Amino acid sequence: MFRIDFSRVRGNPVRFAWDRLSSLPGGRVVFSRMIGRMAPYTGTVGAVFEELGEGHGRAVLEDRPGVRNHLQSIHAVALMNLGEVTTGAAVMYSLPGDARGIVTGMHMQYLKKARGRITAICDHPIAPSNRERSETVTADIVDEAGDVVARFEAEWKIGPMS
């Protein structure tokens, strides 16, 4: 089993892991599962990152029975979880190693039933600083046809490690 000893990582562990794993065969799945182990509830939806960079994230959620609701569409909370992990990884990738981020609020606007393969896309420039601040970061959640099924917004409190 592949493991990264984060106690030995200097700087940003999310950036380190993505930069190290994403180009390897199966590396994006390994990275995504690692994120899920760091945040176990987040890992329950099984999102897989396709892209990650400074202020940018793209993660997919495959439609399957475990994320469906009684209407046979993807559950609202699964979509919110996908939005949170996508914005969170984009924020964390962007920060220097001496910074941290935590969600202080979330909002979701549901626009249509989500069915099939769903993709969350976050594009929000983040200053690479540990200066204390609040950032509102959004992600559009789209279906295979490219229709926006939901818009996610998270308030991220960013500041120095304490």
Only one residue has tokens 């926006």, namely 148
Residue 19 lies in a domain: yes
For residue 7, pLDDT over 70 is answered with: no
* Number of structural domains found in the chain: 1
**pLDDT 10s digits, 19-78:** 999 999 999 999 999 999 988 888 899 999 999 999 999 999 999 999 999 999 999 999
**What does the pLDDT read at residue 1?**
46
The residue range of the domain holding 88 is 6-160
Question: What span, in angstroms and rounded, lies between the C-alpha atoms of 76 and 24?
Answer: 32
Q: Is residue 139 in a domain?
A: yes
* Residue 4: pLDDT over 80: no
Q: Please compute the mean of the pLDDT values over residues 130-147 and round it to a whole number.
A: 96
Helix 13-21 to helix 76-94 angle, to the nearest 10 degrees? Answer: 100
Residue 29 within a domain: yes
> Which position has the higher pLDDT, 53 or 6?
53
Q: Is residue 1 part of a domain?
A: no
| One-letter amino acid of 53 | G
* Mean pLDDT estimate for the chain: 92
pLDDT at 8 over 90: no
CB-hemisphere CA count at 13 Å for 144? 6
Q: What are phi and psi of 40, to 5 degrees?
A: -55, -40
Has residue 156 got a pLDDT over 80?
yes
Please tell me the predicted confidence (pLDDT) of residue 3: 55
Q: Does residue 101 lie in a domain region?
A: yes
Report the length, in residues, of the chain: 162
Is position 110 within any domain? yes
Give the pLDDT confidence score for residue 38 in this predicted structure: 87
User: What pLDDT sits at residue 116?
Assistant: 96
Inter-residue contact 52 to 89 (CB < 8 Å): yes
CATH number at residue 71: 3.10.129.10
What is the per-residue pLDDT for 5? 54
Residue 49 lies inside a defined structural domain of this protein: yes
The answer as to whether 83 is a domain residue is yes
